[in-house]
Amino acid sequence: MLEHNPLAACARGERYETTAPDTLDLADRMGLAVNALTNVWYPPDERLALGFYVDFSRRPPVLFPSHVTDAYLNIPPKFIEALVLCRLASGSRYNIEVDREVLNAQLGFIGGDGLTYCPTDTLEQFTEQRPFSEVWAEGRLLLALSTLAQVDDDPRWIEIAKRKTDRLLALTRRKEGFRFLWKGRFRPGENPPADADEPSEALAGGSLADYDPVFSKIYSTGALGHGAGLLYRLTGYEPALELSEGLARWAMARIFTREDGRWNFYHFHHSLYALMAVCEYGVASGDRSALERVDACYRWARVMGDPLIGYFPECMPGSDLYLERRGNTVEACEVADMLFLALHLTRAGMGDYWDDVDRWIRNVHAESQMLDDGFVDSIPESYLASEPTARRYGDSRGVAARSVGSFWGWMSANDAFHLQKTEQGPKLENRSIMHCCTANGARALYYVWDAMLRQDSGETAVELLLNRASPWLDVDSYLPVEGKVVFHVKKTQGIKVRMPEWSDPGDVLATVGGQRVETSIEGRYVRVRGLSPNDKVTLTFPVPERVEHRVIGESAYKLTLRGSNVVSIDPKGNIYPLYTRCQPSGASIAKERFVPDVQRLVW
């Protein structure tokens, strides 16, 4: 068990008071996410179970677990990974003692074979046959362990990850150049039967990987392939690459088969997560053909939603469930996955997707985070459930405030909430937040924050015009209020700034210390050289405003945009209306900035 808190290292760094524009700051958003990430846990007598859903269709709102798998296996590792990333970027120490408690609980679930098994003596109203481990959870644990190992020098993280990898590799079987899992839930001591083959029918009493053969391939590949690939990139551990490659080739042989990128499966997020695993393998191994397949799939996926704002529906267009169930709603998970793919493919040289990232992080992804709880008391009574559902282990203690910083689960294009049509009139669904979105949404904030700046041979490349503190320079972005970005130089001899797609680099005016200076233009980049510490570089440029009429989630909307930002949407939402709360003022505000000691993680 842990005597120290590994996440304490994340909050070590330089802190200083300054003023900055009131515009989107991803570090601030990650600090807000820490509130949600640390306030979902049940007490020690329930072994730090995780409350998965929040129900706002009743007063007061209720937090409750979905089932044993999400309470102990699938979701806690996602929260651990997200907590490391969010604390590292924001420097937040809020509720930091919770992190060690959660880690100790998770360490206590590890079996003799290295896999993590749900406890048998808790949440007794859930009647699943226990104990069992879950393939998806094991993959998320590999990611969490690999992330922890980069901020804490305790050797156990890599030791545990290698043990898990060895056991998981032994649970796979070879076939036709790939590796497969015959199911996704395992009992202690269980091994593949001699006649194990790819899933071909539903299995009773299993997981998502066991009730549908196609889902099994998607589900088993996703987290496990991603986690194994990251572990290999971090350590060079060959069994991890073998596992990552085997699962990636399974996905390419059975799901992502077409060179034009099209695939056929109804769930967008789980499909994208399997694609992320193939991408991670391609990056880890340098397999160009795998990355080309991922790139084709990414480009097809972009047009399956609305690529202008980053609206990607839970159910794929063309599937039976697209309109029948939730076709016109979006999970935060989908846009988070697409951000991951855009960043990895761009860094791998497969394409230039910075403008996708810029549009999506500013619009649907920024809007998908719950920023306040003031809306709760103003929800019309008529929208609340006539007969609220009884919730096992329901927790109503300050749930709205504890949920601030979460990411929404079922948004329409203009509102965080989805209204059901019932005989009693429009009603809120009995689930509004599912915390898989909170973890995925939070870690995507880190990916963008980390990738937007890089240092190369004394020059700092700035890929996105967002607020950011760093050892090399600080960025103050006034977008979209005005076309002005200020760079406070610390340790860089020059800056190379990528201008967004709606701008003309030739229109950029640059000053240093208030004096006009010459720039050089290379494609979309504006360069300013010959800089010294304490220089203040200001770039100014026009910001166009335009109106777009779009059909999003099968509904028509009028969008007004300034630059990349949607500044208004018509019709407006009426419960938690989007594009209202996080409209920036551009005014200078006092704030603390944080530059972590640990500068860059492998992700």
Q: pLDDT, tens digit, for every residue of 541-597? A: 999 999 999 999 889 999 999 999 999 999 999 999 999 987 899 999 999 999 999
State the SS3 of 450-517: HHCEEEECCEEEECCCCCECCCCEEEEECCCCCCEEEEEECCCCEEEEECCCCCCHHHCEEEECCEEE
CA 538 to chain CA mean position, Å: 32
- Residue 325's pLDDT is 61
Return the half-sphere exposure (C-beta side, CA atoms, 13 A cut-off) of residue 163. 14
Q: Look at residue 327 and tell me whether its pLDDT is greater than 70.
A: no
Task: Confirm whether 307 is domain-assigned.
Answer: yes
Task: Confirm whether 266 is domain-assigned.
Answer: yes
The answer to whether residues 460 and 445 belong to one domain is no
CB 387 within 8 A of CB 355: no
Position 296: which residue type?
A
The answer to whether residues 75 and 164 belong to one domain is yes
Rounded CA-CA distance 258/242 in Å is 24
Q: Which token pair is 550?
A: 């779009």
pTM: 0.98
The answer to whether residues 346 and 205 belong to one domain is yes
The answer to whether residues 388 and 317 belong to one domain is yes
How confident is the model over 19-63, as pLDDT tens digits? 999 999 999 999 999 999 999 999 999 999 999 999 999 999 999
Of 311, 310, 230, 221, give the one whose Cα is nearest residue 271.
221
Task: Confirm whether 550 is domain-assigned.
Answer: no
Rounded CA-CA distance 60/50 in Å is 19
Q: Cα dist. 396→98, 244, 390, 494 in Å?
A: 20, 41, 12, 53
Domain interval for residue 252: 6-12+26-451
- Residue 322's pLDDT is 84
Q: Are strands 494-498 and 459-462 parallel, antiparallel or unpaired?
A: parallel
Task: Confirm whether 417 is domain-assigned.
Answer: yes
For 270, other C-beta atoms within 10 Å of its C-beta total: 21
The answer to whether residues 424 and 463 belong to one domain is no
The answer to whether residues 92 and 222 belong to one domain is yes
Q: Are strands 53-55 and 459-462 parallel, antiparallel or unpaired?
A: unpaired
The CATH number linked to 515 is 2.60.40
Rounded CA-CA distance 7/21 in Å is 29
CB 428 within 8 A of CB 57: yes
Q: What is the mean pLDDT of the chain?
A: 96
The answer to whether residues 231 and 105 belong to one domain is yes
The answer to whether residues 374 and 464 belong to one domain is no
The answer to whether residues 194 and 310 belong to one domain is yes
Residue identified by tokens 């160009």 is 288
How confident is the model over 206-259, as pLDDT tens digits? 898 899 999 999 999 999 999 999 999 999 999 999 999 999 999 999 999 999
Of 481, 497, 498, 479, give the one whose Cα is nearest residue 489.
497
The answer to whether residues 432 and 321 belong to one domain is yes
State which of 542, 561, 578 marks the end of a domain.
542
14 forms beta bridges with 595
The answer to whether residues 495 and 444 belong to one domain is no
Task: Confirm whether 318 is domain-assigned.
Answer: yes
Q: Which token pair is 42?
A: 């049940």
Task: Confirm whether 560 is domain-assigned.
Answer: no
Task: Confirm whether 577 is domain-assigned.
Answer: no
Residue 261 region by backbone torsions, left for phi larger than 0, else alpha for psi between -120 and 50, else beta: left
The CATH number linked to 367 is 1.50.10.10
Task: Confirm whether 498 is domain-assigned.
Answer: yes
The answer to whether residues 321 and 348 belong to one domain is yes
State which of 434, 451, 468 marks the end of a domain.
451
Number of domains in the chain: 2
State which of 508, 523, 542 marks the end of a domain.
542
